[in-house]
Amino acid sequence: MSLLIKNGRIITASDDYQADIYIQGESIHTIGEDLNMDADKVIDAAGHVIFPGGIDPHVHLEMPFMGTYSSDSYSSGTLAALHGGTTMVIDFILQTQGKSLHHALAAWKGRANNNCYGDYSFHMAVTDFNEETSKEIVQLIEGEGITSFKTFMAYKGALMIDDGQMVNLMKEVKDKGGMVTVHATNGDMIDQLIAKHRAEGKLSPLYHYLSQPEITEAEASGRFCDMADYTGVPAYIVHLTCEGALNATRRANQRNQNVYVETCIQYLLLDASLYEKDFDGAKYVMSPPLREKKDQAALWAGLNHNKVQVVGTDHCPFMWEQKLMGKDDFSKIPNGHPAIEHRMELLYSEGVNKGRITPQKFVEVTSTNAAKIFGMHPKKGCIAVGSDADLVIFDPNEKHTLSVETHHMNVDYSAYEGWEVTGKCKHVILRGQHAIDQGEVKINKGFGTFVKRGKAKAAI
């Protein structure tokens, strides 16, 4: 199969130029002006921009969590991602405390393998680090190509590890060539505030927000950076939301240490005023919670100052019925919101089209940096000869409105209902296949493959 894309404006993390792209099989064969090759299919991209397929390194598909499962399966979630220009996701395996990492790996493979439309990989969340788990780290890195290890400093009793386990895990992961990532919030402080609010009968979604003040994230982020500095492990903070936490990572990086930072689209665009709408605020119950306008400003500045390297989604959707599990108690509302489909279009519309970031920065934070940080570059995350032909052909001027009526995610509300967006993914190419043709799906379930990742790099 060969594909020729004519007349497009190619945007990468470093360049912006006019050229044609010739694809043979799964990878990019030639990039040049006025290419004349015979091809099985030709797409005219005149008036469109072409950028690398998005990589969302933070999604939770069909994940067992808070007594239920996130509502997007591997097929519905990766297909929705493709509609929105994300060709690859990294999902999270959760170790069950008391059981092995391989036990969890088998369960996640069982749900994901042969069910994905888009390409995928896993982070391994280590929730119980001990002598046995320690031996599995090298097997996951060398044998499975799972090179990043997620930790939780919150969700005590289910997912949280203590600082002793964290330091020992970091030492082991550094020794074997991996990376440690973190949900950095102070679980004990949060649990104490949750208990206080419940005892006072303060049970609405607003108190989810008030149980996780900025200091709980800033403190844990700083502590995590100190432990990463002490052990020297390559490190990454997921879903960072606020100025205080960002400043904590800045202090750490002054000591010549690289802790990468991911924020998520919702923290750039939505704010805590959404919790004031009674139970409707449950749509935005996620951890950490939405923050203030000043935090949004800090995150946009962080992108432009290279202090924030990645924009993900933390896509973790729940049906309204599931959110209602917490109608009488905010602490029982399953945490998470749906965004896997909208990240690229929202960031282009609100970021590039509104002049907050350059097109190159857009590519960097939606694709290239994730590929580099998580050991997939230059196979993924760039437009270059020999790279996987994962491409988005995008109309930067087309206007549309986000809605539950039109989205493809398996969730019965939209967190972005009525948002006017300028810019639309018209064609999505995944490893040379025309996966999405103006909204029409051209590939089958199971086309998405598991991507084995390489070892962590100290710097990108």
Nearer to ligand URP, 48 or 337 (CB): 337
Q: Are 16 and 359 in contact (CB under 8 A)?
A: yes
| Nearest of 179, 131, 127 to residue 153 by alpha carbon | 127
Cis peptide before 317 (omega within 30 of 0): no
Q: Are 80 and 72 in contact (CB under 8 A)?
A: yes
* Member of 78, 287, 369, 387 binding ligand URP (CB under 6 A): 287
What is the pattern of x (binds ligand URP, CB under 6 A) and - over residues 323-342?
------------xx------
Nearer to Zn ion, 56 or 395 (CB): 56
Tell me: does residue 322 bind ligand URP (CB under 6 A). no
* Member of 183, 283, 361, 379 binding Zn ion (CB under 5 A): 183
Residues in 288-317 at the binding interface with Zn ion, rule: CB under 5 A? 314
Structure tokens at 229: 């500095």
Q: Are 370 and 55 in contact (CB under 8 A)?
A: yes
Cross-strand bridge partners of residue 315: 59, 337
Provide the residue type at 295 as one letter: D
Tell me: does residue 314 bind ligand URP (CB under 6 A). yes
336 touches, from ligand URP, Zn ion, none (C-beta below 5 to 8 Å by class) = ligand URP
User: CB atoms < 10 A from the CB of 230, how many?
Assistant: 12
The DSSP bridge pattern shows strands 235-237 and 119-125 to be: unpaired
Output the CA–CA distances (angstroms, integers) from residue 134 to 75, 109, 121, 147, in the order listed: 32, 21, 21, 14
Nearer to ligand URP, 286 or 344 (CB): 286
* Member of 79, 235, 269, 286 binding ligand URP (CB under 6 A): 286
Q: How many CA atoms lie within 13 A of 386 on its CB side?
A: 3
Report in angstroms how near the CB of residue 279 gets to Zn ion at its nearest.
23
For the chain, the straight-line distance linking the first and the last C-alpha, in angstroms and rounded, comes to 34
Q: Where are the alpha helices (DSSP H) in 43-181?
A: 74-83, 101-112, 131-138, 163-176
52 touches, from Zn ion, ligand URP, none (C-beta below 5 to 8 Å by class) = none
Tell me: does residue 60 bind ligand URP (CB under 6 A). yes
286 touches, from ligand URP, Zn ion, none (C-beta below 5 to 8 Å by class) = ligand URP
What one-character DSSP code corresponds to residue 315?
B
**Number of residues forming the site for Zn ion (CB under 5 A):** 2
Tell me: does residue 208 bind ligand URP (CB under 6 A). no
Q: Which residue has tokens 């290419």? A: 35
Report in angstroms how near the CB of residue 343 gets to ligand URP at its nearest.
15
What is the pattern of x (binds ligand URP, CB under 6 A) and - over residues 139-178?
----------------------------------------
Report in angstroms how near the CB of residue 286 gets to ligand URP at its nearest.
3
Tell me: does residue 29 bind Zn ion (CB under 5 A). no
What is the pattern of x (binds ligand URP, CB under 6 A) and - over residues 221-250?
------------------------------
Nearer to ligand URP, 68 or 360 (CB): 68
Rounded Cα gap, residues 313 and 66, in angstroms: 19
Nearer to ligand URP, 183 or 380 (CB): 183
**Number of residues forming the site for ligand URP (CB under 6 A):** 8
Tell me: does residue 262 bind Zn ion (CB under 5 A). no
Cross-strand bridge partners of residue 460: none
| Maximum distance among all Cα pairs of the chain, rounded to whole angstroms | 72
213 touches, from ligand URP, Zn ion, none (C-beta below 5 to 8 Å by class) = none
Provide the residue type at 429 as one letter: I
Q: Which residues bind Zn ion (CB under 5 A)?
A: 183, 314
